[in-house]
């Protein structure tokens, strides 16, 4: 049953990416002798108080004490900039399926470590996502490669942006002191989003790494409500990092990073990361797809951060009631849509390429001569359900990629469905939240279509409308879905009633 639903692996990927951003903090020159075996002894004076060591740094990545990956960073000085690269290699268990993940970032940085340009690659199996960008004239010019074609978007900037994995350099540049709080404007290529990350230096304590105690600064790194804790030595060396997901990063030598316990993370019997972040409930609902009404108590998070009273959902205090919609009797329209005000739900984007010729041709082939909006959405839902293989995938969901590869989970299903609908003129938006299965709520993505009014539709589960165990938290694409990270490790759910 679980394998047929397709839970949100993209959201898990977002957490992983953020959890890894602060690794490889540069060290002061005084730490040179201790680090000679791991990094190049070359150094460059950043200012009168900070000396940045150049070269490579290694960290091991662990999940519940099992080695699941490593990361290596490298920084070199150029004529008027820095060249920074990072490679993350991970092996994770997704619903019993081993997934090998490679994430590569290469960037050219200004002397204050803000972005000049970057290239980003995420590869998991046959799925490959590539993006590049550069800062020019107060804008970020962003390019995403979709099956051999580059799509461009220009993002206006208020302040110079940083990459998530370059924030450690910017922090070091500003100096380490207990009580210090730094705010950075960040562009994250894994989510295509611009937002603020806050890093505060909370205090100092003694921490044991590789059997030796070291005095360390404690950092709290906050992004979209997700908080990562990190420890760095007085000389600035990153020692350890922990995220709410349970990922732990530890400073290692190159040999340790590449060989120590590596195989333990690449077995199907290891921790299933999707089930690991799911939200358990006490009541067994034997047939969630048949649920037409549910009353549930939500706790552990600030509910005011989300618009939970929407459509068939009503929030009173911490009690949420969900009623399954009825689409029978809706006065649907015939194409083309004559109403105004839905333009943004018809627009293409970097990942929802509804104006791409391949998407347009496939959408028109699916619907043929049909003009009724309800029947068109149902036809596209059924086509996506039948033609996209439900396969665990960590990816940045691009509609074109899904159309070509025809595989993925809920994110991929929802991205392709949204693009196909928009291509034929049906306003469509992506919805992210949770859905019930086997006594757990799993993170999930589905859609809503305008068919005379907004109605929910789930192309992964072939539901139109969706059952009442779908709880809607966020509307929008990947840049909006990051808001769901506020729930991870905090949201608790108690089912009070269902029928």
Max mean pLDDT among 120-129, 246-255, 317-326 falls in 317-326
pLDDT for residue 469: 97
Confidence (pTM): 0.85
Q: Using the predicted structure, report yes or no on whether residue 11 has a pLDDT greater than 50.
A: no
- Domain map (residue ranges) of the chain: 2-275, 279-498
Mean pLDDT lowest for which of 99-108, 224-233, 354-363?
224-233
Q: Using the predicted structure, report yes or no on whether residue 457 has a pLDDT greater than 60.
A: yes
pLDDT for residue 51: 55
pLDDT for residue 172: 76
pLDDT for residue 261: 80
Q: Using the predicted structure, report yes or no on whether residue 27 has a pLDDT greater than 70.
A: no
C-alpha distances in angstroms, 239 versus 58, 235, 248, 308? 11, 11, 11, 40
Upstream peptide bond of 336 is cis (omega within 30 degrees of 0):
yes
pLDDT for residue 329: 77
What is the per-residue pLDDT across 212-256, written as a single tens digit (0 to 9) for each?
888 999 999 888 777 889 898 876 677 898 887 778 889 898 999
Dihedral sign (CA 275, 278, 280, 281): negative
Give CA torsion, residues 268, 269, 273, 278, to 10 deg.
Answer: 130
Q: Using the predicted structure, report yes or no on whether residue 321 has a pLDDT greater than 70.
A: yes
Max mean pLDDT among 1-15, 150-164, 241-255 falls in 150-164
Distance of alpha carbon 123 from alpha carbon 125, whole angstroms: 6
pLDDT for residue 351: 92
Exposed/middle/buried for 274, CB within 10 Å: 0-12, 13-18, 19+?
A: buried
Kindly report the backbone phi and psi dihedral angles of residue 88, in degrees, each rounded to the nearest multiple of 5, phi listed first.
-115, 125
Please state, rounded to an integer, the average pLDDT across all residues of the chain. 84
pLDDT for residue 309: 95
pLDDT for residue 485: 80
Q: Using the predicted structure, report yes or no on whether residue 20 has a pLDDT greater than 70.
A: no
Which residues are CB-contacts of 95 (< 8 A; sequence separation ≥ 6)? 2, 3, 7, 272, 274, 275, 392
Under CATH, what is the fold of the domain 279-498?
C8orf32 fold (3.10.620)
Q: Using the predicted structure, report yes or no on whether residue 275 has a pLDDT greater than 50.
A: yes
Strands 407-408 and 389-390: parallel
Percent of the chain with pLDDT over 70: 87
pLDDT for residue 337: 96
Mean pLDDT lowest for which of 243-247, 252-256, 478-482, 487-491?
243-247
More confident residue, 91 or 368: 368
pLDDT for residue 53: 60
Is-contact 231 206, C-beta < 8 A? no
Query: pLDDT-based confidence at 191, cuts 50/70/90?
Result: confident
pLDDT for residue 180: 94
Q: Using the predicted structure, report yes or no on whether residue 28 has a pLDDT greater than 50.
A: no
Query: pLDDT-based confidence at 38, cuts 50/70/90?
Result: very low
- Angle between helix 357-367 and helix 410-423 axes, rounded to 10 deg: 80
């Amino acid at each position: 049953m679980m394998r047929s639903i397709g839970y949100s692996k993209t959201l898990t990927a977002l957490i992983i990416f953020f959890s890894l951003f602060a690794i490889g903090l540069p060290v002061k020159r005084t730490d040179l002798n201790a680090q000679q075996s791991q990094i190049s002894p070359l150094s460059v004076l950043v200012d009168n108080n900070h000396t940045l060591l150049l070269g490579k740094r290694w960290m091991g990545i662990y999940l519940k004490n099992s080695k699941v990956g490593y990361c290596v960073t490298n920084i070199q000085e150029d004529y008027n900039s820095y060249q920074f690269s990072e490679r993350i290699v991970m092996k994770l268990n997704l619903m019993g399926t081993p997934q090998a993940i490679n994430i590569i970032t290469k960037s050219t940085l200004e002397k204050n470590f803000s972005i000049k340009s970057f290239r980003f690659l995420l590869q998991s199996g046959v799925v490959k996502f590539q993006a590049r960008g550069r800062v020019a004239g107060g804008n970020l010019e962003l390019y995403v490669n979709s099956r051999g074609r580059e799509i461009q978007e220009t993002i206006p900037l208020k302040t110079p942006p940083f990459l998530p994995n370059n924030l450690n350099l910017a922090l070091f540049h500003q100096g380490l002191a207990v009580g210090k709080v730094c705010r950075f404007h960040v562009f994250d290529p894994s989510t295509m989003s611009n937002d603020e990350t806050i890093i505060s230096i909370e205090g100092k304590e003694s921490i044991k790494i590789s059997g030796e105690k070291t005095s360390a600064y404690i950092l709290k790194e906050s992004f979209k409500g997700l908080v990562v804790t990190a420890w760095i030595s007085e000389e600035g060396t990153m020692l350890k990092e922990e995220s709410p997901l349970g990922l732990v990063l530890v400073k290692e030598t190159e040999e340790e990073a590449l060989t120590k316990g590596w195989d333990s993370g690449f077995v199907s019997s290891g921790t299933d990361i999707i089930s690991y972040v799911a939200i358990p409930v006490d009541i067994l609902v034997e047939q969630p797809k048949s649920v037409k009404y549910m009353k549930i108590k939500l706790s552990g998070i600030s509910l005011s951060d989300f618009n939970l009273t929407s459509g068939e959902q009503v929030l009173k205090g911490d009690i949420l009631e969900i009623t399954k919609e009825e689409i029978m009797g809706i006065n649907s329209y015939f194409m083309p849509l004559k109403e105004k005000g839905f333009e943004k739900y018809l627009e293409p984007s970097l990942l929802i390429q509804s104006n791409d010729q391949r998407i347009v041709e496939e959408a028109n082939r699916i619907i043929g001569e049909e003009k009724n909006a309800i029947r068109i959405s149902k036809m596209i839902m059924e086509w996506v359900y039948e033609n996209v293989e439900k396969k665990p995938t960590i990816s940045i969901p691009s509609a074109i990629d899904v159309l070509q590869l025809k595989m993925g989970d809920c994110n991929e299903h929802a991205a392709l469905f949204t693009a196909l609908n928009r291509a034929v003129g049906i306003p469509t938006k992506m919805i992210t939240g949770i859905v019930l299965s086997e006594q757990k709520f799993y993170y999930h993505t589905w859609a809503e279509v305008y068919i005379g009014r907004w109605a929910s539709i789930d192309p992964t589960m072939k539901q139109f409308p969706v059952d009442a165990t779908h709880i809607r938290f966020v509307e929008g694409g990947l840049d909006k879905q990051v808001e769901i990270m506020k729930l991870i490790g905090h949201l608790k759910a108690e089912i009070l009633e269902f029928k």
